[in-house]
Structure 1
Amino acid sequence: MRFLSLAIAQLAALLALPAMADAPVPTKGERALHERLLTLDTHLDTPASLVLPGWSIVQRHSAADDYTQVDVPRMVAGGLDGGFWAIYTPQGPLDPASTRAARDYALRRAVAIHAMVAANPQAFALADRAADAAQIAASGRRVVYLSIENAWPLGDDPTLLQAFYALGVRISGFAHFKTNQFADSSTDMPKWDGLSPAGVQLLAEMNRLGVVPDLSHSSDAALDDALRLSKTPIILTHSGCKAVYDHPRNIDDAHLRALAAQGGVIQINSVYVKKLVQSPQRKAALDALEQRFPEDRVLSAAERADYLAQRHAIDRQWPEVRAGFDDVMANLLHALKVAGVDHVGIGLDWDGGGGVAGLDDVADLPKLTAALLHAGYSEADVAKIWSGNVLRVLAAAEAEAAREQAMAGATLR
């Protein structure tokens, strides 16, 4: 009888939970509209896949098999025209030797992106300016802007950003999960109360070059500093809303409004969208796996096979608790309500921890367009969300760089 009572109580609790909204299946018309749009994601961690042994960007893979989420066939299937491909460097010690190694690591990651484009000219094209994206997409190729996630590799010389700008970097962040020499991280103890003096110099260098400042991962105080000091609009390339999920990586409504007032954009991700409690056994097993196969190490084919076998075993024994499509939409719709349609976009953190049930890889992206249309947004609105807003911000950065260059030229005369 006790068991039956417990079962009834558990069933009642389940019935009391809000139903998980299914991702909409796009109609033929909605899919056609999606294909008409210029679709850009502002945070693709896919360059990490480019160094996997035997892995090819032009072959179709499966997130269920190798945990990757972006390749050319799936970009075509999902109608993704491209975006900002991240030069991501996991934060390490701030000593000179480690920082030089980080610089070299970041440069190799940039070279890998360029090699991808050079090896597949029919599939990709590098973009330098905001106007390039539409032209590249019209040619049937995928758009490749570069971005920096974590500015640690720049060391103590913000002007090194100029070298990365020459390689195609048009968005740059400051910190990642740990506070560094440029800014406090949202997920670490503060040291600078926002941007450091070097971070202020880096921000000025971004404005001078035409690089959009990215404050995802940085603290609220760093965002406040950037909003106050930047001559161009700010972007959050992959963030969420604290009103939906109160996590340090997400931002509150006051900052959403301040970002919009400054002309900036929040790009909604698919990681910090809902509180999820994983089993302690799963966390411990994944931590141990990370120790064996650190993310900054290039694996051999045998090591990669070993990693995948162990990761699948962990998933079978302690399945992941996942967020769902409706959780991503809750963040997206809240940001649109608070900041307005001119200040929201999409940066789902593919290949960097993103993806939820119903939005497993980029092949699922038409579902977002369908959901936005069902929510009452127009084609013009959805076009802004998918690319118009980020390209406006990039164009503003270009205009400021041109203004500063003209002023410098006038001073020399």
Structure 2
Amino acid sequence: MKQLAILLTATALAACSTGGDKPKAAEAPLHSRMLVLDTHLDTPLHFERAGWSFADRHTLADDMVQLDIPRMKDGHLDGGFFVIYTEQGPLTAKGYADALAFARGRSDLIDSTLAKYPDAIAPARTAADARRLNREGKLIAFKSMENSYPLGEDLTLLAEFYARGLRMAGPVHSRTNQFADSATGEARWKGLSPLGKRWVAEMNRLGIVIDASHSSDAAFDQMLELSKYPIILSHSSLRSAHDHPRNLDEARLKALAAKGGAMCISTIFLSDMNMTPARAGLFGQYERIGAMTPAEQADLNRKWRELDQSEPLWAADFEDYMKMVLRAIAVAGADHICFGADWDGGGGLKGIEDITALPKVTARLKEAGYSDADIEKMWSGNVLRILAAQGK
């Protein structure tokens, strides 16, 4: 499934036995008064698991899941962008057809899962929808696409996915494809391909937010230049915090802010990744978790937790994360920062293992001197502003 990124979910297991600490009483009131969104939720990976329900309370330690409806309420996460992720495959007619079928199925799976719980969570397509659902006491579910590979060379498919509710999409994932060079792939196009430049224009025409996470520096530069509307990075970290090509450098963060965009801060790539053969072997099983029986899922979880004790994947923790968050705000300003931790797709560190830890972030921002208004901008206002600024 999500190659390196999905595998990173293992990081949180090393430190988590209960699914994360519940917010302290002193932290919850301010956080719970705000509209809180996350821009990159990979939880749809789990929607097809046998015996698993989004409406049940799970724990990361027991179930390898960081987000469900009860814990969204615990952490006062009001919603976010649920991801249609497709693994990169061959750039062939069959590869495109297979990927398109998968992406359509994943979109349908998101819809069918939400439809089971209409009193708790509902689809959103506009910023106004998000605010209305929040007033109604319902959780908010936007759709995004990570990796536009399923579109093949047919950009008219973007209109189909727009009609399905897609409101954010990135051109590429961990390997270079027909649209763009990946931050972790070969530099085939020196940024965007000719098709990728047309992809930008069609995204603008439809009013879908362009997501530059996973794109190469050159592709980022070109999307920033070509887009008529502000763009976003849905789940990225700062390169000054850790030198990795997936992370954004401070000069580009400033350029992003100057064009009205925002970077949503992730918890991944804040240290080197300890990818061992044993971890890679378990990852091969994790890719098939949706097809596993409950007993097989439990066995995988047990082995993964045992490995975390001897071979932790990351060295970073909550303190490292907050240091980066505060630096990013200092560089870009509170109007250009948001949050996309990559929950259920690699996110989570010691001290911020799942979404129940989110009030700790708000508390730390308040301690750093940021106003309630600025903190709410970072949790939701900036994302909704960018969504509303897409010409629709």
Would you say same fold, with TM above 0.5? yes
The one-letter amino acid of 1:367's match is K
C-alpha displacement of 1:33: 1.3
- State how far apart, in whole Å, the 1-side matches of 2:238 and 2:189 are: 24
CA distance in 1, matches of 2:312, 2:146: 29
Residue 204, structure 1, aligned to residue 204, structure 2: no
Partner of 2:5: none
Q: 1:142 maps to what in 2?
A: 139
Query: TM-score normalized by structure 1?
Result: 0.87
User: Matched residue pairs, number?
Assistant: 373
Deviations 1:64-93 (A, max 9, x none): 111100001110000000000010111122
Segment drifting more, 216-225 vs 93-102: 93-102
- Change beyond 3 A, Cα 1:244–1:82: same
The amino acid across from 1:366 in the alignment is: P
Name the counterpart of 1:334: 327
Q: Structure 1: which 5+ residue stretches go unaligned?
A: 1-22, 403-413
1:64 aligns with 2:61: yes
Q: How does 1:371-382 map to 2 (within 5 A)?
A: 371-382=364-375
Query: 378-387 vs 125-134, which deviates more?
Result: 125-134
Offset from partner CA, 1:173-201 (integer Å, 9 cap, x none): 01000000000000011110111111111
Partner of 1:276: 272
Q: Is the 8 A contact 1:53 1:304 kept in 2?
A: no
Correspondence for 1:363: 356
Shift of 1:295: 5.0
Aligned counterparts of 2:288 and 2:336: Cα–Cα separation in 1: 33
Pairs within 5 Å for 1:154-169: 154-169=151-166
Query: Is 2:344 aligned against 1:348?
Result: no
Residue 167 (structure 1) shift? 1.0
Correspondence for 1:55: 52
Q: What's the offset of the Cα at 1:293?
A: 4.8
CA offsets 1:220-240 (integer angstroms, 9 cap, x no match): 100110111000001000001
Query: Could you tell me which residue of structure 2 aligns to residue 192 of structure 1?
Result: 189
Say which structure, 1 or 2, has more relative contact order (CA 8 Å, 6+ apart): 2
- Tell me the secondary structure at the aligned position of residue 218 of structure 2: helix
1:111, 1:172 → 2: CA distance?
17
**Contact 1:25/1:367 (8 A) holds in 2:** no
Aligned partner letter, 1:99: Y
Structure having the larger proportion of residues in helix: 1
**Inter-CA distance 99–298: structure 2 relative to 1 (3 Å threshold):** farther
Q: Is the 8 A contact 1:343 1:389 kept in 2?
A: yes
- 1:236 counterpart = 2:229: no
Structure 1 residues 56 and 26, CA gap change in structure 2 (3 angstroms): closer
Q: Which deviates more from structure 2 when the two are superposed, residues 318-327 or residues 195-204?
A: 318-327
Question: Residue 391 of structure 1 aligns to which amino acid in structure 2?
Answer: L
Question: Structure 2: which 5+ residue stretches go unaligned?
Answer: 1-19
Q: Aligned with 2:122: secondary structure?
A: strand
> Aligned with 1:60: secondary structure?
coil
**Shift in CA distance, 308/29, structure 1 to aligned 2, threshold 3 Å:** closer
Q: CA deviation at 1:313?
A: 3.5
Are 1:129 and 2:122 matched, yes or no?
no
Structure-2-length-normalised TM-score = 0.91
Deviations 1:78-110 (A, max 9, x none): 000000001011112212112211111111111
Counterpart-to-counterpart distance in 1, 2:187 and 2:82? 28
